Amino acid sequence: MTANKSIKKPPKAPKRRSLLALLRHRFPEKFHRPLIRNWRRLRSAWQINSGEWKWLEGKPMPLSVLNRSLWRSANPSSSYYALLFLSGVISVLGLLAGSTATIIGAMIVAPLMGPITGIAFAMSIGNRRLLKRAGLALLTGCLMTVGSAYLFTTLLGLNTLNEEITSRIRPTLLDLVIALAAGAAGSYAKTRRDVADALPGVAIAVALVPPLSVIGIGLSLADTDVALGSTLLFLTNLAGIILSGGIVFIWQEYGSLSRAKNGLLVAAITLSGLGIPLGFSLRELVIEERARSAVSSLIRDRTPFGGTDIRRLRIDSDDGGLLVQLEVAAPRDSISAEQVRLVHQLLQQELDRPIDFRVRILPIQAYDISSE
C-alpha cells in the first residue's frame, strides 16, 4: 500500500473585516463604543420598519456578469463608432443651431459612458487589459467626435457663438461636483439591473459629447478660448466620472483599495490640478452675478434708464473690471450722451472697480391715429 501523502490545502483567502471590526481595531474604546451602539440601534430600527420589503431590494450583479457587460460596452466596435459619429453630428448641428433639445438627444445617443465606466471598473479591480481596451475606445472616439465637429463647422461656414456654445467654455467647480455625482450614479446603475433606467439621465447630466463638439468648433474658428475652455470642461467630466465611479465599484466590493490606489491617486491629482482654474472661474461667476444684481438695481432705480424699456443687460468680467452692455428702447433724443457718462461714473463709484459701459438705444417712433 502506498503511503498516505499529506495533501497541501490551498491557503484561504483572508477574510474581509467589516466596518465595525475596523472601528474596534483602529480606534480606542471611548470612540468606537458609542458609534457601534448607535449604529446597531439604527440598523435594528431599519430592519423592523422595512423587513416586509426586503424581497424587493435589488442586489449587485455578480462580478463575472458585470465584467462581461463592461467589456462589451468598452469594445471599440463598428457599432460604437457609428453611434458616436451620429451623436457627434447631432451635437455639433444642435450647438450651431442653438437647439437645446437636439443637444440632449446627442447626449442620450452617445456611447462614451461605456468606455469611461470601463476605465473606472478596470482601475478598481486592477485589470490592465480592460483599461487599455477602454482607453483606446475613449481616445479614438474623442478624436473622431472633435474631427467631425471641425469638419461640419468648416463646411457650414458658421462663425457665430450662441449661448449653447459659450455656456460650455467656462466650467466651474459646480461642473466638477456634477461630474462626481453623475459618475457615482452611473457606476451604481451599472451594478444594479433594477436601476438601469437611470443611465440616460446620467448621460444628460454629465454631457460628454457636447464639450468635444465645442472643441472642434473652436478649432475650426481658430478661437483658442473656446477650444481650451471646452477642453477643461471635458477633462473635468472625465476625471470626475473615473474617480467617483472607481470609489463606487470599490464600495460595492468589486475591487479593492490596494489595487485601485494608483488609479485613484492619478484621478485625484488631476482633479486637484483642474480645481485651480475651476475655482477661479467660479469666483468670477459669483462676482458677475453680484455685479449684475447691483447694476440692474442701480440702472432701474437711480438712472434715467429706469423709465425706459430695458431689452438686454449683459455683464462680463474684463481684465479685473466689468464690461456692462445695455440695450434700451426709448424715444429719440430722450437720453443724451452726458446722461450716459453720468451713469458710467455712478456705476464705477458704487461698484468701486473699472467699468466699460456700452449703451445701445433703439429709437421708438409712435403714431396715434384717431377714428375721427
How many domains would you assign to the chain? 2
Q: Are residues 172 and 105 in the same domain?
A: yes
Angle subtended at Cα 270 by Cα 129 and Cα 238, rounded to the nearest 5 degrees: 60
Q: Judge if 311 and 184 occupy the same domain.
A: no
Kindly state whether residue 313 falls inside one of the protein's structural domains.
yes
Instruction: Tell me: do 265 and 341 sit in the same domain.
Output: no
CATH number reported for the structural domain that contains residue 327 in this entry: 3.30.300.20
3-state helix vs strand vs coil in the chain, percent to 5: 70, 10, 20
Task: Quote the pLDDT of residue 203.
Answer: 66
User: Which of 275, 291, 323 marks a domain boundary?
Assistant: 275
Q: Which domain holds residue 221?
A: 63-275
Are residues 187 and 244 in contact, defined by beta-carbon separation less than 8 angstroms?
Answer: yes
Q: Is residue 372 part of a domain?
A: no
DSSP per position, 243-306: HHHHHHHHHTTSS-HHHHHHHHHHHHHHHHHHHHHHHHHHHHHHHHHHHHHHHHHHHHHHSGGG
Question: CA-to-CA distance for 216 and 153, rounded, in angstroms?
Answer: 8
258 and 121 together in one domain: yes
Q: Is residue 311 located within the same domain as residue 166?
A: no
Residue 205 domain-assigned?
Answer: yes
Last residue of a domain, one of 227, 258, 275: 275
Whether 222 is in a domain gets the answer: yes
- Indicate if 111 and 181 belong to the same structural domain: yes
Regarding whether 90 and 166 lie in a shared domain, the answer is: yes
**Looking at residue 269, which CATH number applies to its domain?**
1.20.1080
For cell 472601528, what's the residue?
A: 23
Q: Is 370 a domain residue?
A: no
pLDDT in the model for residue 370: 65
- Angle (deg, nearest 10), helices 173-191 and 257-302: 140
pLDDT for the residue 371: 63
Residues 82 and 217 in one domain: yes
pLDDT given for residue 57 in this prediction: 57
Predicted local confidence at residue 50, as pLDDT: 55
55 part of a folded domain: no
Q: Are residues 245 and 343 in the same domain?
A: no
Q: Within a domain: residue 359?
A: yes
Residues 243, 124: Cα–Cα separation, whole Å: 10
Measure the CA–CA gap between 302 and 64, rounded to whole angstroms.
Answer: 69
pLDDT for residue 14: 44
CA 299, CA 244: separation in Å to the nearest integer?
45
**Going by C-beta distance under 8 Å and a sequence separation of 6 or more, which residues neighbour residue 9?**
none
Residues 139 and 264 in one domain: yes
| Cβ–Cβ under 8 Å, residues 274 and 239 | yes
Ranges of residues in the chain with a pLDDT under 70 are 1-26, 32, 45-58, 194-205, 302-308, 320, 364-368, 370-372
145 with 84: CB under 8 angstroms?
yes
pLDDT at 306: 63
Residue 42 lies in a domain: no
